Copies of this chain bind each other. A is one copy, B any other.
Amino acid sequence: MTLHQTPFSGRLSLTTKETKALKPRISVITLGVDDLEQAVLFYRDGLGFSTEGIVGQEFEHGAVAFFDLSSGLKLALWPRRSLAHDSGLQLLPPNAAAFSIGHNVMSRSEVDEVMGQAERAGARIVKPAEDTFWGGYAGYFQDIDGHLWEVVWNPQLLPEQSL
A interface residues (Cβ-Cβ under 8 A, vs B)? 18-32, 47-50, 56, 59-60, 62, 67-76, 80, 83-84, 86-105, 110, 113-114, 116-118, 126-127, 133-134, 140, 147-148, 150, 152, 157, 159-160, 163
A85 to chain B, nearest CB (A): 9
Copies of this chain: 2
For A154, the closest partner residue in chain B by CB is: B27
Name, among A80, A83, A126, the residue most crowded by chain B CB atoms within 10 Å (CB to CB): A83
Residues of B within 8 A of A150 (CB): 30, 87
Closest 10 CB pairs of A and B: A28-B102, A21-B113, A71-B71, A20-B48, A27-B104, A95-B95, A89-B97, A84-B97, A25-B70, A92-B95
Beyond A32-B99, A101-B29, A134-B62, whether A24 also contacts B89 by CB under 8 A is no
B contact residues around A152 at 8 Å (CB): 27-28
What residues on B are CB-neighbors of A104 within 8 Å? 25, 27-28
